[in-house]
């Protein structure tokens, strides 16, 4: 009798457990579907809102540079170009620095310094973008104008091929300065993700490699990076998304010119900066 009662209780517990697992699985599936539905709704809304412009200007809107509100001739090529170039500059600067920060914190940093250093880096992400913009306009742009841009013009401006990237007068504001600002803004995101994924590498892998006589650099390149490469790529993509969508800080320092210049020292614009500058003056159905 006792064995039968125990068996019944076991079957009852198993039944409740199976029901709980099914309910949990269904609930999480619904949450995942909600995310996909929201994403599909956003895409549908963007496409629906873009149809009038595409109907009037055609696909040439994407590859046209002209931007003249008086004659109602508009093109998105200059903002697209500015968005891609500033984001590329930001990532070229931020990725190596973020990698070095994450590597130092996880592999080389003394224990007493890890927490304060990590906190200070993460605080950079809490600074509002408009503060970055004001700092960039009144501090970074004058510094770039007086020191960085003249040095680039003197050293790289005369080199055939790449000299065109550093041609023109040192204005301070421009695409290069916007890239500098973005690199500072995405740095805490990329470094935080890299640090976290580096810390997920099992200690036994590190210790075994050190026991074989490997140096710190060999451990990093042969153990840490291969193990954490998916997370590293995820952190880079997170920073790239932040750079592509940044508005206020870029608007302050990029110059807001709807023209494409080969020189990185010249003003430009981005998609988000163009929206911020133009939406208050938008009239008509478009």
Q: What is the pLDDT of residues 265-285, one digit of tens each?
A: 999 999 999 888 887 776 666
Q: What is the pLDDT of residues 110-158, one digit of tens each?
A: 888 888 888 888 888 888 999 999 999 999 999 999 999 999 988 888 8
Determine the straight-line distance between the first and last CA of the chain, rounded to whole angstroms. 80
Residue 11 to residues 5, 8, 139, Cα–Cα distance (Å) = 10, 5, 71
Q: Which of 40, 50, 70, 274 is nearest to 178 (CA)?
A: 274
What local confidence, expressed as pLDDT, does residue 6 receive?
54
DSSP state of 254: S
- In angstroms, the CA 224 to CA 105 distance is 13
- In angstroms, the CA 158 to CA 152 distance is 10
Q: Does domain 76-281 have CATH number 3.40.228.10?
A: no
Q: What is the pLDDT of residues 74-99, one digit of tens each?
A: 888 999 999 999 999 999 999 999 99
- In angstroms, the CA 198 to CA 191 distance is 10
What local confidence, expressed as pLDDT, does residue 125 receive?
84
What pTM was computed for the model?
A: 0.84
Question: Looking up tokens 């300065």, which residue turns up?
Answer: 177
Tokens of 33: 């579907």
Q: Which of 85, 76, 78, 82 is nearest to 259 (CA)?
A: 78
**Helix spans in 72-139 (H):** 77-103, 111-123, 129-135
Residue 83 to residues 37, 140, 145, 256, 267, Cα–Cα distance (Å) = 28, 20, 22, 12, 12
What local confidence, expressed as pLDDT, does residue 139 receive?
94
Q: What is the pLDDT of residues 181-218, one digit of tens each?
A: 999 999 999 999 999 999 888 888 888 888 888 888 88
With the CA atoms of 66, 69, 70 and 71 taken in that order, what torsion angle do they form, in degrees rounded to the nearest 10? 50
Tokens of 120: 């200070």
Domains in the chain: boundaries:
2-57, 76-281
What local confidence, expressed as pLDDT, does residue 285 receive?
62
Q: What is the pLDDT of residues 57-68, one digit of tens each?
A: 777 888 888 887
List of residues 6+ apart from 156 with CB closer than 8 A:
162, 163, 165, 166
Q: Which of 241, 128, 131, 248 is nearest to 178 (CA)?
A: 248
Q: What are phi and psi of 270, to 5 degrees?
A: -125, 170
Beta strands in the chain (DSSP E): 67-68, 73-74
The count of residues in the chain is 286
Tokens of 118: 């990590």
């Amino acid at each position: 009798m006792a064995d039968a009662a125990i068996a019944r209780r076991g079957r009852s517990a198993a039944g409740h457990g199976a029901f709980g697992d099914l309910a949990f699985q269904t609930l999480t599936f619904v949450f995942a579907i909600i995310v996909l539905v929201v994403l599909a709704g956003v895409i549908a809304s963007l496409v629906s809102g873009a149809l009038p412009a595409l109907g009037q200007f055609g696909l040439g809107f994407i590859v046209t540079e002209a931007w003249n509100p008086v004659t109602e001739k508009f093109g998105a090529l200059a903002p697209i170009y500015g968005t891609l170039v500033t984001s590329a500059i930001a990532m070229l600067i931020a990725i190596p620095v973020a990698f070095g920060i994450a590597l130092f914190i996880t592999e080389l940093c003394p224990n007493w310094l890890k927490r304060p250093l990590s906190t200070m880096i993460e605080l950079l992400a809490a600074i509002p973008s408009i503060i970055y913009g004001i700092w960039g306009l009144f501090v970074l742009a004058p510094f770039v104008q007086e020191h960085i841009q003249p040095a680039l013009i003197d050293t790289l401006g005369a080199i055939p091929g790449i000299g065109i990237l550093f041609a023109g007068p040192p204005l301070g504001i421009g695409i290069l300065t916007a890239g500098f600002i973005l690199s500072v803004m995405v740095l805490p995101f990329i470094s935080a993700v890299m640090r976290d994924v580096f810390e997920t590498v099992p200690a036994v892998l590190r210790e075994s490699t050190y026991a074989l006589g490997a140096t710190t650099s060999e451990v990093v390149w042969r153990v840490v990076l291969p193990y954490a490469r998916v997370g590293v790529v995820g952190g880079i993509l997170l920073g790239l998304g932040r750079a592509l969508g940044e508005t206020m800080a870029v608007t302050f320092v990029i110059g807001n010119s709807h023209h494409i210049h080969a020189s990185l020292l010249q003003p430009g614009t981005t998609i988000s900066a163009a929206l911020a500058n133009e939406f208050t003056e938008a009239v008509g159905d478009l």
